[in-house]
A and B are shown apart, each in its own frame.
Chain A
Amino acid sequence: MSKDNAIVYVLDDDYRVREALTGLLTSVGFRVEVFASAADYLKFKKPDSPACLVLDLQLPGMSGLDLQQEIAGGDAPAIVFVTGHGDVPSSVRAMKAGAIEFLLKPFDDQELLRAIDAAIAQDREARLKRAELAELQRRYALLTPREREVLPFVVAGLLNKQTAAELGNSEITIQVHRGQIMRKMEASSLADLVKMAGKLGIS
């Protein structure tokens, strides 16, 4: 029984809940790592596989919401909040910050499993996107400064002649830069290059 190496991190200060979730999630085939505090979770070296974080809202020290804010942005897994104190402001804050689900204790096991599946699916997709972006950035890094200058004009649809006039170069030089860009970025067509530039945030 394995769910494609997916890991579920469980962060709850109550050992009974940690034990129970370990049992439940192991029995349905997840790899489970449990933590009693945000600090322990942050210290843990996370393997490179799709994951999900089941996070208690109230924790001693750093609260669940604080942790969510702290790890936001990086390669943090999707979060499923569970809490015994479901006040509206915290749930709104959690969902706005991108949580998958906000479950009240005592939670329904099926609901929790559904939320975890959804979170892992989202994390898997996010990882793919991040990997793709990392690859594009690697390719972009190969471009010379001059080629990076030329790229925006190319993707904006300017002719070589127009670009040459803008940058004060000969048309033939731009032609060479353009060929290098297409090769280094591994673009199969101009349309492809435009898409890549969009993902890199160049326009």
Chain B
Amino acid sequence: MLFEKLTVLWSTSAQSDTMKNYRAYRSKLVMGKHSRLKHYGLAVIACAVAVALAGPLDAPASCFSLAIIASSLFGGTGPGLLAVGLSALAFNFLFLPSPLSLSSPSSHYLRFGVFVVTAFATSQLVETKNRIEESRRRIEETLSSTQRRLSRATQIATVAELAASIAHEVSQPLSAVVANGRACIQWLSAEPADLANAKVAAERIIRDGKAAGEVVRHMRALFKKTALERIPLNVNEVIEEVLSLIHNETVRKQIVVETDLEKRLPPALGDRVQLQQVIFNLLLNGVEAMETVTDRPKKLIVRSKMQSSDTILVEIRDYGTGVADSTKVFEAFYTTKEKGMGMGLSVCSSIVEAHGGQLGISPSQGSGTTFFFTLPLGTSQLE
């Protein structure tokens, strides 16, 4: 039920994405008309400047080449060719000893021909470079939008796995609210009414109601789709939020969770939801790695500390089955799980890298795996 709603939510937001793209495309078209005229103007001005400088410098070919390069680079094919034509005319009438005619010597024809061919080739080369850059930009855009969607899809998949666990987190305080409410009525309807006990019950109702609201707020934050935020974050808080969401999952699987969080951790710049997702994924991996473990206690250790003066280190250690190939696990579509998609760690890795940090595996003593990631402090430069 919850999952269905999420899917609907996601598809509507995807639709609004498409609308946004369409609008951007339209505005690009409208803007195009104005700027194209401007670019042709630029070509004319560049040629005029080249004419003005070519005489005193006595270097017509170089000056016109520069004008053509500039026009092609900033204006594209049309302005580039215009510059080629204008400079050919100027070269013919101003810089050949006499303008070309049937009686001109063949050396003049040759000089003019070489000039035109060079000019044309220059404009085409620049144009080709433009095109290559354009297509590279497009590929990069597609790639990053695919990555965003993929990260969103894994996010939903991960959270859906734990929807039941979250439901439990809400139903716990709700159970308490119902029981306290009934107790309150009982105390009030006793003869004589027991106001002190009724008040205690009512206060608990408020407290537990707030707790349920808090869980809902966390859940909403997990599902919210926002542009990447870069706000100062208390990493410990983020860790604890995620732990509170998987608390029930760990209890159910009889896993002990230990935390060792550096108390005075300076804030890191980052996106709360994405970091939650990373921690979520790493913890869930740990939980799953210990599913089949029976001969030792199931334990997850979450640690945060300063790695250096400007880097925060978060470690998540499990006592599970361990990983066979620690370099492969970060590759997309590599999985050791029966039902896994092989995207979890590769998405985590790209998120952490986008934050200017690093995700990796450190060797652990004994059985299990230790994943770590680093985050630069809020003050340092981010890419």
**How big is chain A's contact interface, by range?**
20 to 34
| Partner-binding segment picked from B16-24, B46-54, B164-172 | B164-172
Query: Which of B27-35, B182-190, B259-267 lies at the interface with chain A?
Result: B182-190
Cβ–Cβ < 8 Å partners of B175 in chain A: 17, 20, 82, 105-107
Interface residues of A in 91-117 (CB under 8 A from B): 104-110, 112
Q: Number of residue pairs across A and B with beta carbons under 8 Å?
A: 91
Q: Are A105 and B168 in contact (CB under 8 A)?
A: yes
Contact B171 A105 (CB under 8 A): yes
Contact bitstring A5-48, B, C-beta under 8 A = 1, else 0: 00000000110110111011011100000000000000000000
A168 contacts chain B at the CB level, 8 A cutoff: no
Residue of A nearest to B200 (CB): A23
The CB with the most chain A CB atoms within 10 A, among B167, B179, B183, B204, is that of B179
B30 CB to closest chain A CB (Å) equals 56
Interface assignment of A183: CB less than 8 Å from any CB of chain B:
no
In the bound complex, how far is the Cα of B200 from the Cα of A108, in angstroms? 21
Whole-angstrom CA separation of A107 from B174 in the bound complex: 9
Residues from chain A with Cβ under 8 Å of B177 in the complex: 20, 106
Q: Is A85 an interface residue (CB 8 A)?
A: yes
**Residue tally, chain B, CB below 8 Å to A:** 33
Shortest Cβ gap from A164 to chain B (Å): 62
**Of residues 248 to 283 in B, which have CB atoms within 8 Å of A's CB atoms?**
248, 251-252, 254, 256
List, in ascending order, chain A residues with CB within 8 A of B200's CB: 23
* CB 8 Å contact bits of A75-101 with B (1 = contact, 0 = none): 000000010110000000000000000
Contacts of B178 in A (CB 8 A): 20, 106-109
Query: Is B12 part of the binding interface, using a Cβ–Cβ cutoff of 8 Å?
Result: no
Cα–Cα distance between A105 and B208 once the two chains are bound (Å): 14
| Closest CB in chain B relative to A197 CB, distance in Å | 47
Stretch at the interface among A56-64, A140-148, A169-177, A186-194: A56-64
A14 to B207, CA, bound (A): 14
Is B181 interfacial (CB-CB < 8 Å)? yes
In the complex, the answer to whether B183 meets A84 with C-beta atoms within 8 Å is no
Cβ contact of B176, chosen from A17, A26, A85, cutoff 8 A? A17
CB distance from B251 to the nearest CB of A (A): 5
Chain B: CB-nearest residue to A21: B179
Of all chain B residues, the one with the shortest Cβ separation from A13 is: B251
Chain B residues touching A, majority SS: helix
Given contacts A20-B176, A60-B254, A61-B254, A106 and B171 within 8 Å (CB-CB): yes
Q: A16-B211, A106-B174, A106-B178 are in contact. Are A28 and B168 (CB under 8 A)?
A: no
Instruction: Find B182's partner among A17, A104, A109 (CB 8 Å cutoff).
Output: A109
- B173 located at the interface, meaning its Cβ lies under 8 Å from any Cβ of chain A in the complex: yes
Is B252's CB under 8 angstroms from A19's CB? no
- Contact indicator B251/A58 (Cβ below 8 Å): yes
Task: Evaluate contact between A20 and B179: CB separation under 8 angstroms.
Answer: yes
Q: How far is the CB of B297 from chain A (nearest CB, A)?
A: 11
CB atoms of B179 and A24 under 8 A apart: yes
The answer to whether residues A28 and B252 also contact, given A19-B204, A20-B208, A105-B172 and a CB cut-off of 8 A, is: no
The reply to whether A16 and B204 form a contact with Cβ atoms under 8 Å apart is yes
Give A23 to B177 CA distance when docked, in angstroms: 11
Contacts A84-B167, A84-B168, A84-B248: A26 and B208 contacting too (C-beta < 8 A)?
no
Known contacts A17-B172, A27-B197, A106-B171; A58 and B179 CB within 8 A of each other: no
Please indicate the chain A residues that have their CB under 8 angstroms from the CB of B181 in the complex. Answer: 109
A85 contacts B164, CB within 8 Å? yes
> Which single member of A17, A24, A60, A108 contacts B186 (CB below 8 Å)?
A24
Measured CA separation A143–B262 after assembly (Å): 73
Report if B235 contacts A (CB, 8 A): no
**B304 CB to nearest chain A CB (Å):** 24
B197 A19 Cβ-Cβ under 8 A = no
Q: How far is the CA of A1 from the CA of B184 in the complex (A)?
A: 16
Q: Are A109 and B179 closer than 8 Å at their CB atoms?
A: yes
Tell me the nearest residue of chain B to A59, going by C-beta. Answer: B251
> Is B208 touching A27 in the complex (CB atoms < 8 A)?
no
Query: In the assembled complex, which residues on chain A have CB atoms less than 8 Å from the CB atom of B256?
Result: 60
The 6 closest A-B pairs by CB, nearest first: A84-B168, A27-B186, A106-B174, A20-B176, A20-B179, A23-B183
Hey, which bits of chain B sit against chain A, CB under 8 A? Answer: 164, 167-168, 171-184, 186-187, 190, 194, 197, 200-201, 204, 207-208, 211, 248, 251-252, 254, 256
What 12 additional pairs, Cβ within 8 angstroms, besides A20-B176, A23-B200?
A16-B172, A16-B208, A19-B176, A20-B183, A26-B197, A27-B190, A27-B201, A61-B254, A84-B172, A106-B174, A106-B177, A109-B181
A interface residues (Cβ-Cβ under 8 A, vs B): 1, 13-14, 16-17, 19-21, 23-24, 26-28, 58-61, 63, 82, 84-85, 104-110, 112
